[in-house]
Structure 1
C-alpha cells in the first residue's frame, strides 16, 4: 500500500498541502473557521471555565464567611475587603493566570471579552481598583460583543463605587439605563445601582431599585438577605408598614437561622412604629419563646435590646433602661451589640431625662467599643464632645465653689473636714480591695487550669473579673481617667510631685484644658489629691501619711486673694460657656437662662455681658416669654453686633439703605474736608440708625479713623478693639487688625 501511495505523487502532494494548511490555520490571529473553532474550544475549556469557576467559588467563600453587623443597615453588595480576601487570594491569583491565557494565546477566540471581564472581577475582589477600572474600560472600548461590554460597564460602575468615585459611577449608570441589557446584566445593574444610592445615603431611591430587582432573583440566602436590607431601608425612611412586608418576605425566601431571627425582631420593632397593637400584644409571648429557645442562647442580648427599644418607644424610659442593662449582662464576651445598647441608654438619659452626666458615661462606653466605620460613630463622637464640655464646666463650677468655701473655714473646721474625706476614701479603697480579692478567690478556687472566659462566666455579672470583660475594662479606664487624669504607666504614679500629676483639682480646671475634676463621687465636696508630696520617701507611720495627705489637700485651696481671683475667673468662664452650651448645643433655653442669670448675678462686670444679654433675649423668645434683655442690650451696648442681631433693624428697607448711604457719604465728605470734629460727632450719632444696614461696619471703621485723628492713642486702640469685638464677621476686619498692629508698634517705640 505504501508503494501504491508513492506511485501517485499528486495524491501525496494534496495530502501534504491539506496538513500544512491546517497547521498554519491554527494561528491565534487567523480568521479561518478551523482556526477559530480550535481556539474557541481550547480557550473555553482550558482557561475560561476554570477561571470562572475559581472566581465564583471565591465569591461564595467570601459570602459564606461574611460578618454581618445587624445593628446597622447591611450593604446591598458586600464591600471589597482586603482583610477577608487573604483566604482566597491564591485562588484568585490562579484565576487571573488562567484567564490571561486567552488574550496571550487565543486572540481570535470568542471568549476574549469574557476573559477580560473575569480579570476585572478578580482585580476588583483583590481591591486592585485602578487596574480593575482599566480592564473594564478596555472591554467597553475594544470589545466586540454588546452583552460583554455591558457586563464590563456594570463592573466599572462597581469599581467606581468601591473607590468612592460616585460621580463617575452615576455617569456609567445613566449610560447603562438606556441600553438593552440582557437578564443577567439587568439584575446586576439594578443591584449595583441600588448599592450606589445606599452608599450615598439615598435610601428611598435605593430601596425602590431593590424592589424592582426581586422578580428576577431566585429564592435563597442571598435573596433573603436583600429582603432584610429592604426592610431596614424602609425603616430608615420612615415606612414601617412596608418594612414589615419585606421582613415577611425574608421568611419565605429560604433564609438562614440568623436571617429569620433578625427578620422577626425587626418586624416586631416596625410594628411598634406602625402602632399595630394586636401584633404588639403578641410580642411579649414571642420574646418569651425566643428567650427559652436554646438556639438563641448567644442572641439573648439582641432580644433584650429589642424589648428595651419597644419600651422606650412607648415612653417607659426606666423599664427600657432596665432591659438594656439586661442586654449588656447577657452579652458575655460577645460585645458586638453592647456599644449600640450603651448608645440607646445614653440617648434616653440625654433626650428623655436630661441627665447629661449619666449620658456622658454611656456615650463614653459606646464610643470606646463602637467600630469607627459605623454610621453612628461620627454623630456619637460629636455628641460625646459636647457632653465632655458639659461635665467639665459643671465640674469646674462645683470644684471651684467647694475650694472657695473651704478657704473660708477656720483651721479646726477645715482639719475636721479633711479627716472625714480621708476616712471615706480609705473605706472605699478597702471595700474595693476586699471585692477584688473575693472575685479572684472565687474565680481561681479549684479552677486554676480553666480558661478565663469559662471561669468568668461562673460569677454574677456584677462580680466578673474586669480583665476578662472588655465592657467593664472600658468603664474602668474612663473612671480612672476622670479621677486621676492621664497618668504615665510607671511606679509611684500617684505621687503628687510628679509632672504627670502636677495639676490638681481646683487649681487647674477643665476649662483651661488641664486635669478633669471628679465626677465619680458627687457626695464629696471637692476632688482633692490624697497622696504624699514626697516621692521615694521611706516608710512613714499612718499619722505621718495622713498629715502628708492633708498638706497636699490644703495646697489646692485658694487662701490668697490672687488665688481666689483666679478661682472666680474660672467659675465665670465656666458659667459663660455652660450657658452657651445649654442654649446652642443642648437646646435647653430654661437651663441657659438660669445659668446666664447666675453669671450676671455673681459677676456683673463680666466682659461677655453683650453676648449674654443677646442669648438671654433669644432664650426667652424661644420660650415665648417677654423679657427686658433686648432693651437692656440696645440701651447699654447699642453699637455692638449683638444689638444689630437682636432684630431691631430686621425690617430695614431699600429706602433705609439709601438713606444710610446718603448719610455715610455726607460724613465721609466731612472727613475728606478735614472737618474731623463734626464728622466724629455725626458718626457717633448715626451708628445706631445704621444698625442692620450694609454700611454699618464701614461707618464704624470711619469712626475709628476719626478717633485716631482727634483723640489719644489709648482711645484709638480701644476703638480698634471694640470694632474687632463688635464686627467679628466684617470683611474690613483684616484691615483693622493691621491698624491694631501698627498702633501697638507705635506705642512700643514711644516707650
Structure 2
C-alpha cells in the first residue's frame, strides 16, 4: 500500500508536468490556452497598456485650450512632445512584443499588436503605425478587433492629413456590424476627421450621435461643451444652450464650467425684458465670483457681444472698453478692439475712431485669426482715409497759423500745453490704465501732431478745445519730464532743484543709471513749449509758393477722400460731399472733369435730372476731355490710350496686392480701374479678377469664368493664356481624382527595382543604361544586376536596375548612387528622378502612370537620407 506522502509526491509531479507542458508556446490544449491567455494578459499586454495610458495622459496634459475657438477634440501631436515620452514608447513596444512572441496562441496577440500600433502612432512613426493596424485587420480572426484596428487607422490617417485614405477607411469599417464601443470610437474619430478639415456641420452630427454612448473616461463634459460651441458658431443658439447645460451637469473642470456658464448667458433665448435682465444678472454674477478674477476681460467681452445683439450700442461700447482695461489676454483685447472698430465702421460711420481700433486689433490678433486678411484690408482702407482727412486738418491749421504773429502763435501753443496739463491733473487721481491697453486717442509724441516723418502722417487736429487734441502731448510730456507733481510754476521748481544739486560732473563715481538719467535730462528741452513752437514754426507756409503747396495737398486729399468714400467705403453721399467741397474750395481744380463724370455716374440711376445737370456742365465746360467724350460716345474709352495707361498703373498696384495674397485689396483696385470705363486694356483687368477668384472661390466657378472669358475674347492674345490656365486647372483636378484612386502597397520587404526617370526629349536611354552598368560593375559587381529601358508615357523614359533582393539592399544601392552622383557626368545638366520601388508597387506605378503620386509615397515611406 502506497503511503500518503508518496501519493502527494506523484500528484505534485503530475501537476508540474502539466504546467510545464502548458508553458510550451506550441500547445493548444485547454490548459495551455488558459495559461497563455492569463500570462499574456496580465504580463506583457497589461504593462504595455499601462505605458500607453501614461503616454496619453502626458499628451492630454500638454494641451493648452483656447476657449476663443472651438476646442480640439484631441490634442495635437508634435515631435518635441514625442521625444519626452520616448522611453515609455519603447517600453510599451517591448512589453507588447513579449506578449506576442511568448504567447503566440493567446487571444491577446491582436490586442497587443494594436498597442504596438498606438505606440508607433504616438511616436509619429506613421508608416509603421499604419502597417501594424493593417496587419491586425488582415490577420486577426476576431471581427471586433479588426474593426478596432481600422478605427485606429482612421485617426492615424487624419493626423497624417491623408484625408482620402481616412475616408476610405471610414467607408470600409462602417459597412459592418460594430460593437457599441467601436461604434462610439468611430463616431469620435469621424468627428475629429471633420474638425481637422473645418467641416463643423458633419463634426457636430457625429458628436451628437456619440453622446448616448459616452463614459466618464471620455470626458463627456468637454464633448458637450464642444457641441455647444459648434451649435453657437452655426447659429443654433437654443441647441447650444442645451448642450452647455448638459456640460454643467457633468461637473466638468473649472475652466470648462466657467466658459459654459459664460456662453450660456450669451445664447439665452431673449423674448421678454425679464429674460434680458436674467441674462445680465448671470453676467454680473460671474463678475462677482472671486474665482473668475482672471477671466474678467472675457466676461466683459461677452457682455459687449450680448448688448450688441440687443442693439444697446452705448453699453456694448462700454463693455468692450472694460474688457480691454481688465485684460491680460492679448487675443481677447484684439477681439474687443475689432468689435469696437466694426461698430464705428458699420453702424456709427465714424471712420477715424474705427481706424484707431482696427489698427489696435491688427497689432493684437494673431495672423492665423479667422478673417485676418479681410480685417487687414479694411484697416489699410481706413489708414488711407484717416491720412487724407488729417492732411486736410493739419494743412488748414498751418495756413491759419500763417496769419498769426509770433507772439500770438506762442500764446496759442502755451494755451494748448496748459490745457493738456490741466487734463493730466484732472485724471491724476483716477486709477491708471493697465499697460497692455493701447491708447486709442493718439499715437503721437508731440504736443501737436504735425504729420512729421515718424508719426501718423499729416495727422492731428489744431482745435484746442477738443479733449483729444489737448491730450496729444501727454505721453511726450511724461517721457521728457517724468511724472512730476502737478503744481504751479513747475518749470521754476525744476530749475531751483537743479540749481541746488551738486555738480555731478565733478565726481567719478556716477553709476550707469545716473549716467542714463543725465543723458535723458540733457536730451530733454529746457522749455517744451519753446521746442514745440520752433518745430511748428518750421512747417508754417509763409511764402506764396509754400501756401500753394499746402493748398495742393488739401486739394489732393479731398479728391482721394471722395474716391475712398465712393469705391472703398461705398458711401455715395459722403463721396458727393467730398467731391462738391473740392469743387467749391478749388473752382479751378484739374480734377473737375473727372469729378463731374463721377457725380454723373453716382446720380444716373437715383436722380436722373441731377445727373444730367452734371453731364451738361461737363460737356459744356470741358468738351474735349476724355470724360465728356465718353458721355457722348460710350465706346470712346475703348479707343482711348490715355485711359488705358491709367488702368495699367492701377493694374500694377492690384497685381502687387494679388502677389502678396491681399486679394480683397486687389479686387478693390481693379474695380477702380474698371470704373474708368471699357478700354483695350479691360481684358487684362477681367483676367486678373478671374485669377483672384481662383484663389478665393470654388475651383469649378474659376473654370467656368475662364471658359466665359475665352468665349468673350476669342481673338485676344490673352485667350491663349486663359486656355492654358483652364487646361492646367482641369489637369490638377484629374490628378486629385487620380490620387484618390492610386493606393500603393506599404509592405516594403519584397525585392526592389532602382528606377531612374528621365525626359524622352533628352535622348538619354543608351547613355543612362551604359552609365548604370558601369556604376553597378564598380560598386555592386557581386550582385550581377541588369539594366533595361521602358517608355512610361509621351514625356518620360524609365531606366530600371533589377533585382535588388531585399529592402536593405535597395536602400544601400540608392544611398551609394546619391553619394556617387557628383561623379556621374552623364547626368549633369539634365533633370531626372530616381527612387527604389517594390515589384508590386512598380506594377501599380506603370499601370497608372502616377509618377507624382509615387514620389510622394517614396518620400513618406523611405528614409530621408536616401531621398
Give the TM-score of the pair, scaled to structure 1: 0.63
Aligned-partner SS, 2:252:
coil
Paired position in structure 2 for 1:707: none
Q: Paired residue for 2:444?
A: 483
Structure 2 CA distance for partners of 1:484 and 1:112, relative to 1, 3 Å: farther
Deviations 1:525-560 (A, max 9, x none): 999x9999xxx9997998898666544333333445
1:458-505: per-residue Cα shift (whole Å, max 9, x none)? Answer: xx6x326xxxx4523xx26x888x3259xxxxxxxx9xxxxxxxxx94
Q: After the TM superposition, which of the residue ranges 608-617 and 174-183 deviates more from structure 2?
A: 608-617
Aligned to 1:417: 409
1:318 to 310, 314, 318: 314
2:445–2:472 Cα contact (<8 Å) kept: no
Q: Is residue 678 of structure 2 the alignment partner of residue 730 of structure 1?
A: no
Aligned pairs for 1:356-375 (under 5 A) are 356-375=351-370
What 5-or-longer segments of structure 2 have no aligned partner? Answer: 1-16, 481-518, 645-674, 688-714, 719-867
Q: Does 1:260 align with 2:257?
A: yes
- For the pair 1:387 / 2:382, whether they are aligned, the reply is yes
Instruction: Work out which of the residue numbers 459, 471, 492 in structure 2 matches 1:517.
Output: 459
SS, match of residue 243 in structure 2: helix
| Partner Cα distance (1:98, 1:726) in 2 | 76
**Matches of residues 130-529 of structure 1 in structure 2 within 5 Å?**
132=129, 136=133, 146-218=143-215, 222-272=219-269, 274-275=270-271, 277-331=273-327, 333=328, 337-375=332-370, 377-407=372-402, 409=403, 412=405, 416-421=408-413, 424-425=416-417, 428=420, 462-463=431-432, 469-472=434-437, 475=438, 482-484=443-445, 505-506=450-451, 517-518=459-460, 523=469
Alpha carbons of 1:700 and 1:259: their partners in 2 closer, same or farther (altered >3 Å)?
A: same
| Residue number in structure 1 paired with 2:572 | 589
What is the alpha-carbon distance in structure 1 between the residues aligned to residue 85 and residue 43 of structure 2? 21
Q: 1:52 aligns with which of 49, 54, 64?
A: 49
Change (3 A) 1:262 1:507: closer
Q: CA deviation at 1:103?
A: 7.0
8 A contact 1:349–1:356 mirrored in 2? yes
**Counterparts in 2 of 1:522 and 1:308: CA distance versus 1, 3 Å:** closer
Deviation at residue 317 of structure 1 after TM alignment: 1.0
Q: CA deviation at 1:144?
A: 6.2
CA distance in 2, matches of 1:324, 1:540: 39
Contact residue 594 and residue 627 of structure 2 kept, 8 A? no
SS at 1:307 equivalent: helix
Query: For the structure 1 residues 540 and 207, does the alpha-carbon distance in structure 2 shift closer, same or farther, using more than 3 Å as the test?
Result: closer
> Using a 3 Å threshold, how does the CA distance of structure 1 residues 330 and 109 change in structure 2: closer, same or farther?
same
- The answer as to whether partners of 1:124 and 1:159 remain within 8 angstroms in 2 is yes
CA gap of 1:324–1:642, structure 2 versus 1, over 3 A, is: farther
Which is worse superposed, 221-230 or 310-319? 221-230
The 3 A distance-change label for structure 1 pair 285 and 386 is same
How many Å separate the matches in 2 of 1:212 and 1:371?
Answer: 34
Q: Residue deviations 1:424-470, cap 9 Å, x none?
A: 347747986x899x89xxxxxxxxxxxxxxxxxxxx6x326xxxx45
1:76 to 73, 81, 89: 73
Q: Separation in 2 of the partners of 1:435 and 1:368?
A: 30
List alignment gaps of at least 5 residues for structure 1. Answer: 1-16, 440-459, 486-493, 495-503, 649-684, 705-721, 739-751
Q: Deviations over 1:62-106 (max 9, x none)?
A: 445643332322233333356766775654454355446567777
Which deviations, in whole Å up to 9, do the C-alpha atoms of 1:663-682 show, x marking residues without a partner?
A: xxxxxxxxxxxxxxxxxxxx
- What are the superposed Cα offsets for residues 197-229 of structure 1, whole Å, 9 maximum, x if unpaired? 334443333222221111211357821222222
Q: Deviation digits for residues 224-271 of structure 1, max 9, x if unmatched?
A: 222222222222222222222222222333433433333333222212
Report the 3-state secondary structure (helix = DSSP H, G, I; strand = E; otherwise coil) of the residue aligned with 2:268: helix
CA shift at 1:572, angstroms? Answer: 4.6
Q: Secondary structure at the match of 2:76?
A: coil
Query: Does the C-alpha gap of structure 1 residues 586 and 294 become closer, same or farther in structure 2, counting only changes over 3 Å?
Result: same
Matches within 5 A, 1:644-659: none
- Compared with structure 1, are the counterparts of its residues 323 and 109 closer, same or farther at alpha carbon in structure 2 (3 Å cutoff)? same
Q: How far, CA to CA, are the matches of 2:593 and 2:136 in structure 1?
A: 67
CA distance in 1, matches of 2:601, 2:102: 78
Contact 1:421–1:524, Cα closer than 8 Å, also in 2: no
Equivalent pair of 2:451/2:458 in contact (CA under 8 Å): no
Q: What's the C-alpha RMSD, in Å, of the aligned pairs?
A: 5.4
Equivalenced residue count is 596
With normalisation by structure 2, the TM-score equals 0.56
C-alpha spacing 1:80/1:353, structure 2 compared with 1 (3 Å):
farther
Contact 2:157 2:163 in 1 (8 A): yes
- Residue aligned with 1:78, SS: coil
CA distance in structure 1 between the aligned counterparts of 2:590 and 2:151, rounded to whole angstroms: 63
Aligned equivalents of 2:532, 2:420: Cα separation in 1? 16
